[in-house]
Amino acid sequence: MKLHEYQSKALFAEHGVPIPRGAVASSASEAIVVAQDLGIRVVVKAQVLVGGRGKAGGVRLADTPKEAGELAARILAMKIKNLPVRKVLVDEAVEPITEIYLGVTNDRSANRPVLIASAEGGVDIEDVAHTDPEKIVRISIHPLLGLQEFQARYLASAIELPRDYWRDFIRISRGLFEAYVDSDATLAEINPLVITKNDRLMALDGKVVLDDNALFLHPDLAEMRDIDEEVPAERDARKYGLSYVKLQGTIGCMVNGAGLAMASMDVIKLMGGEPANFLDIGGGASAEKVTAGLRIILTDPNVKVVLINVFGGITLADEVARGILPAIADEKPKVPLVVRLVGTNEEEGQRLLAKAKMITVSTLEEAAQLSVDLAKKGNVE
**Which sequence positions are flagged as catalytic?**
101, 189
* Residue 358 binds: one of ligand GDP, Mn ion, none (C-beta under 5 to 8 A by kind): none
Q: Are 246 and 280 in contact (CB under 8 A)?
A: no
The size of the interface with ligand GDP (CB under 6 A), counted in residues, is 19
- Considering beta carbons, is residue 178 or 205 the nearer one to Mn ion? 205
Instruction: Rule CB under 6 A: say whether 18 interacts with ligand GDP.
Output: no
* Residue 208 binds: one of Mn ion, ligand GDP, none (C-beta under 5 to 8 A by kind): none
Instruction: Rule CB under 6 A: say whether 94 interacts with ligand GDP.
Output: yes
- Considering beta carbons, is residue 69 or 273 the nearer one to ligand GDP? 69
Give the Cα separation of 313 and 325 in Å (integer): 20
Q: Are 176 and 17 in contact (CB under 8 A)?
A: yes
Instruction: Rule CB under 6 A: say whether 188 interacts with ligand GDP.
Output: no
Instruction: Rule CB under 5 A: say whether 191 interacts with Mn ion.
Output: yes
Stretch that binds ligand GDP, among 94-102, 237-245, 325-333, 350-358 (CB under 6 A): 94-102
Considering only residues 54 to 93 of the shown chain, the ones binding ligand GDP according to CB under 6 A are: 54, 59, 61, 93
Select from 5, 99, 205, 229 the one that contacts Mn ion (CB under 5 A): 205
Select from 18, 23, 73, 96 the one that contacts ligand GDP (CB under 6 A): 96
- Considering beta carbons, is residue 91 or 205 the nearer one to Mn ion? 205
Instruction: Rule CB under 6 A: say whether 43 interacts with ligand GDP.
Output: yes
Give the Cα separation of 240 and 45 in Å (integer): 34
* Residue 94 binds: one of ligand GDP, Mn ion, none (C-beta under 5 to 8 A by kind): ligand GDP
Give the Cα separation of 315 and 347 in Å (integer): 14
Stretch that binds ligand GDP, among 95-103, 255-263, 286-294, 367-375 (CB under 6 A): 95-103
Minimum CB distance to ligand GDP, residue 365 (Å): 44
C-alpha dihedral (23, 24, 28, 31), degrees to nearest 10: 0
Residues 107-136 vs ligand GDP: string with x where CB under 6 A?
---------------xx-------------
Minimum CB distance to ligand GDP, residue 30 (Å): 19
* Residue 53 binds: one of ligand GDP, Mn ion, none (C-beta under 5 to 8 A by kind): ligand GDP
Instruction: Report the residue number whose CB is nearest to ligand GDP.
Output: 54
* Residue 204 binds: one of Mn ion, ligand GDP, none (C-beta under 5 to 8 A by kind): ligand GDP
Instruction: Rule CB under 6 A: say whether 51 interacts with ligand GDP.
Output: yes
Give the Cα separation of 63 and 93 in Å (integer): 9
Give which of 51, 29, 41 is closest to 91, Cα–Cα.
41
* Residue 338 binds: one of Mn ion, ligand GDP, none (C-beta under 5 to 8 A by kind): none
Give contact residues for ligand GDP (rule: CB under 6 A). Answer: 43, 45, 51-54, 59, 61, 93-96, 99, 122-123, 191-192, 204-205
